[in-house]
Amino acid sequence: MLKTQILDKMHESAYFVIINPVSGGGRSKKLWPKIEAQLRDYGLVFQRMFTQDAGDATRLARQAIEQGYRKLLVIGGDGTIHEVVNGICGQTAVSSRRILLAVIPAGTGSDWVKMHGIPRHYRRAVKLLVEGKNIFQDAGLIGYQRDGHPCTRYFSNVAGLAYDAYVVRRTQNKARTGLGGSIYYLWKVLSSMFSFPPAELQLKGLERPWSGKVFCLNVAIGRYVGGGMHIAPLSIPDDGNFDITLIRAISPWEVLLNLPKLYNGRLYRHRKIEHFRGASLMVDARPQVPVEADGELLGFTPAEIRILPAALQVRVPAD
């Protein structure tokens, strides 16, 4: 009994490190020996595991929490963070608020770390573990359809429907070119526009129902997607509401002409872009449109999305 209590205390103070060795084209695996040495220099206690397949990070996070770990350190990109968040929010051993999530960025997009101002350089990111602070941010829970069956998934940054998810579908399982992640994503955004027809969407759960032809719909906790696109410039990650960006039917040429607004935070100045806030949203579409969250393709509409206020505890810079 005493031995078990001692082990539980050790686990609570130690970090469980989840490393995706293929993030950033193998960058995380190459960095790990240097990160490991720096963790030891700071006197931090940790146990590490490498992922091997899709879904491993979710499973490892859940198992670590069940074993008594209360601090999870992710070395990877947005996809790995997404999986770990699902491990944290999907387990029932303790409240998700009791689990600390820290990240050392090693992916290509890194939109979640950009939201929190977490340094991209590994040395400065590791330093946050001893000099940073803990805050709480909201999480989202999205219900959707896959192969005719209802499914759910948690997310920590942005969920996208229609064109946004269509682009994600076109970028998944594609060999990366020599281009960087954000450049590759932008190329897919631009090259996919001419083959995507706007869909008729019905939105419920807002102050008033909305229906019409939609090019893209984003439901945001954070502000960035696609390696820096400012899709929800007014979003606050801990206000208990989603920021919802709706782009009505728009021609590819209008998108091209207004592309700078995707990066400079002036998106809502366009006459065909609407902004809503809300804690829940139901979306139906004719025909069905794809659904993604945190850059991971999930399934199709109908979708139901709700906020989980202050559900995630995360490590961020102190200033």
- Tokens matching residue 99: 């689990």
Please write the tens of the pLDDT for every residue from 292-305. Answer: 999 999 999 999 99
170's enclosing H/E stretch is helix 163-171
Taking only the tens place, the pLDDT of each residue in 33-74 is 999 999 999 999 999 999 999 999 999 999 999 999 999 999
110 and 150, same structural domain?
no
- The backbone torsions φ and ψ at residue 74, rounded to the nearest 5 degrees and listed phi first, read -105, 130
316 in any annotated domain = no
Structural domain of 40: 2-131
pTM, entire model: 0.92
Same domain, 152 and 81: no
The 10 Å Cβ neighbour count of residue 148 is 7
CB 197 within 8 A of CB 214: no
The residue out of 67, 102, 131 marking a domain boundary is 131
Here the tokens at position 141 are 């829970």
Q: Structurally, how many domains does the chain consist of?
A: 2
Judgement on whether residues 292 and 149 belong to the same structural domain of the protein: yes
Q: Are residues 87 and 227 in the same domain?
A: no
Same domain, 82 and 13: yes
Same domain, 127 and 238: no
Number of helices (H), then strands (E), in the chain? 10, 16
Q: Which residue has the tokens 């949203």?
A: 281
Domain finish residue from 98, 114, 131? 131
CA distance 218 to 242: 9
Instruction: Write down which residue in 115, 131, 147 finishes a domain.
Output: 131
The CATH number of residue 194's host domain is 2.60.200.40
More confident residue, 102 or 164: 102
